[in-house]
Amino acid sequence: MSTYAQKKGFGGTIWDYLTTVDHKKIAILYLMAGGLFFLVGGMEAVFIRIQLAVPNNDFVSAGTFNEIITMHGTTMIFLAAMPLLFAFMNAVMPLQIGARDVAFPFLNALGFWLFFFGGVFLNLSWFLGGAPDAGWTSYASLAVHSKGHGVDFYVLGLQISGLGTLIGGINFLATVITMRAPGMTYMRMPLFTWTTFVASAMILFAFPPLTVGLTLMMFDRLFGANFFEVAMGGNTIIWEHLFWVFGHPEVYILILPAFGIFSEIFSTFSRKRLFGYSSMVFATVLIGFLGFMVWAHHMFTTGLGPVANAIFAVATMAIGIPTGIKIFNWLFTMWGGSVKFTTPMYYAFGFIPSFVCGGVTGVMVATAAADYQYHDTYFVVAHFHYVIVGGVVLALLAGTHYWWPKMFGTMLNETLGKITFWLFFIGFHLTFFIQHFLGVWGMPRRVFTYLPGQGFDTSNMVSSIGAGFMSAGVIVLLLNVVITQVKNVKVGNDPWEDGRTLEWAISSPPPYYNFKQLPLVRGLDAYWIEKMEGKKAMTPAEPVGDIHMPNSSFIPFMITLGLFIAAFGALYHADDKSWALPVLIIGLLVTFGSMLVRSVKDDHGYHIHKEELMDEEKGAEA
Site for another protein in 440-499 (CB under 8 A): 440-442, 444, 446-451, 454-455
> Residue 464 contacts by C-beta under 8 Å, 6 or more apart in sequence?
49, 50, 52, 53, 431
**341 in helix, strand or coil?**
coil
> CB 47 → ligand HEA: shortest distance, Å?
10
> CB 487 → another protein: shortest distance, Å?
25
- If one counts every other C-beta atom within 10 angstroms of the C-beta of residue 355, the result is 27
> CB 194 → ligand HEA: shortest distance, Å?
17
> Residue 67 contacts by C-beta under 8 Å, 6 or more apart in sequence?
126, 130, 131, 132, 133, 150
Query: Which among Cu ion, ligand HEA, another protein, none contacts residue 449 (Cβ within 5 to 8 A by kind)?
Result: another protein
Q: Using CB under 8 A, which of the segments 252-260, 301-309, 384-392, 393-401 binds another protein?
A: 301-309
**Amino acid type, 224:** G
Q: Among 23, 248, 436, 531, which residue interacts with Cu ion (rule: CB under 5 A)?
A: 248
Toward Cu ion, which CB reaches closer, 68 or 206?
A: 206
Q: Is 522 in the site for another protein (CB under 8 A)?
A: no
> CB 570 → another protein: shortest distance, Å?
15
- Residue 262-301 contact track with Cu ion, rule CB under 5 A, x = bound: ----------------------------------------
Cβ contact 108:169 at 8 Å: no
Q: Among 193, 316, 501, 508, which residue interacts with ligand HEA (rule: CB under 6 A)?
A: 316
How far apart are the C-alpha atoms of 281 and 194, rounded to whole Å? 7
How far apart are the C-alpha atoms of 10 and 31, rounded to whole Å? 20
Q: Is 227 in the site for another protein (CB under 8 A)?
A: yes
**Amino acid type, 539:** T
Q: Is 72 in the site for ligand HEA (CB under 6 A)?
A: yes
> Residue 546 contacts by C-beta under 8 Å, 6 or more apart in sequence?
607, 608, 609, 610
Q: Is 24 in the site for Cu ion (CB under 5 A)?
A: no
**377 in helix, strand or coil?**
strand
> CB 199 → Cu ion: shortest distance, Å?
15
Sign of CA dihedral 535, 538, 541, 544: negative
For the chain, the first-to-last Cα distance in angstroms comes to: 24
The beta strand positions in 156-260, using DSSP E, are: none
Query: Which among Cu ion, another protein, ligand HEA, none contacts residue 48 (Cβ within 5 to 8 A by kind)?
Result: ligand HEA
Closest-CA residue to 343 (of 288, 296, 402): 402
Q: What is the DSSP letter of 64?
A: H
Cβ contact 95:47 at 8 Å: no
Q: Using CB under 6 A, which of the segments 160-168, 219-227, 467-475, 484-492 binds ligand HEA?
A: 467-475
Q: Is 539 in the site for another protein (CB under 8 A)?
A: no
- If one counts every other C-beta atom within 10 angstroms of the C-beta of residue 603, the result is 12
Q: Is 221 in the site for ligand HEA (CB under 6 A)?
A: no
Toward ligand HEA, which CB reaches closer, 84 or 590?
A: 84
Q: Which residues of 56-78 are buried (b: 16+ CB within 10 A; e: fewer)?
A: eeebbeeeebbbbbbbbbbbbbb
Closest-CA residue to 257 (of 39, 30, 409): 30
- Residue 119-158 contact track with another protein, rule CB under 8 A, x = bound: ---------------xx---x-xx--x-------------
How far apart are the C-alpha atoms of 325 and 319, rounded to whole Å? 10
- If one counts every other C-beta atom within 10 angstroms of the C-beta of residue 231, the result is 6
Question: What's the alpha-carbon Rg for the chain, to the nearest Å?
Answer: 24
- Residue 76-115 contact track with another protein, rule CB under 8 A, x = bound: ---------------------------xx--x--------
Secondary structure element (H or E) that encloses residue 427, with its range: helix 414-440
Q: What is the DSSP letter of 98?
A: T
Q: Is 240 in the site for ligand HEA (CB under 6 A)?
A: no
Q: Is 436 in the site for Cu ion (CB under 5 A)?
A: no
- Residue 323-362 contact track with another protein, rule CB under 8 A, x = bound: -xx-xxx-xx-xxxxxxxx-------x--xx--xx--xx-
Q: Using CB under 8 A, which of the segments 1-9, 109-117, 369-377, 608-616 binds another protein?
A: 369-377
Q: Using CB under 8 A, which of the segments 37-45, 62-70, 250-258, 468-476 binds another protein?
A: 62-70
Tally the C-alpha atoms within 13 A of residue 401's C-alpha that lie toward its C-beta: 27
> CB 488 → ligand HEA: shortest distance, Å?
21
Query: Which among ligand HEA, Cu ion, another protein, none contacts residue 467 (Cβ within 5 to 8 A by kind)?
Result: ligand HEA
- Please give the residue ranges that form the binding site for ligand HEA (CB under 6 A): 39, 42-43, 45-46, 48-49, 69-70, 72-73, 76-77, 81, 135-137, 251, 254-255, 297-298, 300, 316, 319-320, 323-324, 327, 356, 359-360, 362-363, 365-366, 371, 374-375, 380-381, 383-385, 387-389, 391-393, 431, 445-447, 467, 470-471, 474-475, 478
- Please give the residue ranges that form the binding site for Cu ion (CB under 5 A): 248
